[in-house]
Amino acid sequence: MRTPPRTLTIAGSDSGGCAGLQADLRTFFACGVHGTTAVTAVTVQNSLGVTGVHTIPPEVVAAQVESVVTDIGVQAAKTGMLATAEIIAAVAGACDRVGIGRAGDIPFVVDPVAASMHGDPLLHEAALDSYRTELFPRATLITPNLDEVRLFTGLDVTTRAQQRDAAKALFDHGPQWVLVKGGHLWGDPECLDLLYDGSEFTEFVGPRFDTEHTHGSGDTLASSITSALAKGADVVSAVRAGKAFIVESVRGAYPVGAGVGPVSPLWRLPDAAEFLTPGSITG
């Protein structure tokens, strides 16, 4: 069989399976790429929230990145939860050594995860500056939501016009492209994600669904964009593909547990009944 494109997520584990590297791997699979991981932290969480975060030693995170890229090879990489300034620095160094981001030819999507959707902090305060100085300048694309925009720029975005101001402020920190997501712009009847390359804006507009089950939406969007980049798409085309993917994933979101359920990349797959029917397994 032909080996599919390979992707890498550098992210934390979600024990509930709704977000984090579990959402990334689920999305990679649905997008037809082979997903690999560098685990940065283990979280204790379920549909109700996060009750514990246990970080991986930075040198172990870096070693995972280098081990995967130097043997398996990847065509695109992304970050999720990085937790500490020390892990961010280790990831930046590892990326430089293996050619991820501006140090090489491997596209690098930085999703600056700062808090869970329940508001539980996933990023130490000192790490905000590390993102600005260590990762944003290395990134092909950064994908902050509006809460993360506020943390990194101090701008409280409440209008589409302010999304543009935020994109410009973030671009000044050095990424090649900025995608300011509009899912948290609650007064807007649509969901606008705004892409900026330093000179031109591109708008990606989608419907706003009436559902509370949006856990893992940021991870899923960034992972679907990363998958498209791994297949050779340019940034605008990759974001367009990612936007289409997350719209359907939110449309197919489902409940689990007593709290907030995940968006669902499973919309891309045939129903399980097509694979397993009564009497289809013998022996």
Beta-carbon contacts of residue 126 (< 8 Å; ≥ 6 apart) = 84, 85
180 DSSP β-pair partners: 194
pLDDT exceeds cutoff 50 at 84: yes
* Per-residue model confidence (pLDDT) at position 279: 53
Cα–Cα distance list, 12 to 55, 218, 244, 246 (Å): 8, 14, 25, 20
* Per-residue model confidence (pLDDT) at position 276: 53
Closest CA to 205 of 214, 215, 195: 195
* Per-residue model confidence (pLDDT) at position 277: 55
pTM for the full predicted model:
0.94
DSSP string, 100-140: BGGGSSB-EEE----B-TTS-B-S-TTHHHHIIIIIGGG-S
pLDDT tens-place string over residues 175-196: 999 999 998 888 899 999 999 9
The span from the CA of 273 to the CA of 268, in Å, is 14
To the nearest whole percent, how much of the chain has pLDDT over 70?
A: 93
Domains plus CATH for the chain? 6-265 (3.40.1190.20)
Mean pLDDT confidence for 207-225: 96
- What is residue 33's DSSP assignment? -
Q: Taking the CB of residue 182, how many other CB atoms lie within 10 A of it?
A: 23
The span from the CA of 130 to the CA of 200, in Å, is 27
Task: For the chain, give the mean pLDDT.
Answer: 93
Greatest CA span in the chain, whole angstroms? 64
* Per-residue model confidence (pLDDT) at position 71: 98
- One-letter amino acid at 171 equals F
pLDDT exceeds cutoff 70 at 213: yes
Helices (DSSP H) in the chain: which residue ranges? 20-30, 58-71, 85-98, 127-130, 146-153, 160-171, 217-230, 235-251
Q: What share of the chain is helix, strand, coil (3-state, %, to 5)?
A: 40, 20, 40
* Per-residue model confidence (pLDDT) at position 282: 47
Mean pLDDT confidence for 200-208: 97
* Per-residue model confidence (pLDDT) at position 143: 98
The span from the CA of 17 to the CA of 24, in Å, is 10
Locus of tokens 């808090």: 115
* Per-residue model confidence (pLDDT) at position 283: 45
* Per-residue model confidence (pLDDT) at position 62: 98
Q: In the structure encoding, which two tokens stand for residue 175, read together?
A: 């990424």
